[in-house]
A = this chain, B = another copy of it.
Amino acid sequence: MATDKDMCEIHLINKEKVENLKNSLEDEEILRLAELYRAMGDGTRIKILHALSQEELCVCDIAALVDMSQSAISHQLRILRSLRLVKYRKEGKMVYYSLDDEHIINLFAQGLAHIRHN
């Protein structure tokens, strides 16, 4: 893939250190991290997550809240579910969603801190 791999590698002050870097994050972790952030990288899903950070909601209410079709929301919820960002609870024909754990709140807080601070 790298076309000019051996041209400027001389500039690495500490070649070993950089070589170690390659392995310090496992490939699978890189993929899963990217998936996680990508799942949060959509306006609709941000709105959903933010709403759920305040209170548990059923699908239909989320749809009303973000003013989108039930189908669109269901598709998005599937993504959020698959990454364990949200969990759900069935009650009759309703399905109530909520955030899966506190990490998401923290991710939110850090993200907001970044965009607000510069």
Contact = CB atoms under 8 A, between A and B. Distances in A.
Q: How many copies does the complex hold?
A: 2
Nearest to A22: B65
Report, as a range, how many residues of chain A touch the other chain: 35 or more
A37 B34 contact: no
Contacts of A103: 110-111, 113-114, 117
A10 B108 CA distance: 29
Q: Lowest 3 A-B CB distances belong to which pairs?
A: A38-B41, A8-B60, A37-B40
A3 B70 contact: yes
Given A35-B41, A40-B41, A41-B34, A84 B8 contact: no
Nearest to A104: B114
A3 B115 CA distance: 33
Given A38-B38, A41-B37, A107-B111, A8 B117 contact: no
A107 B110 contact: yes
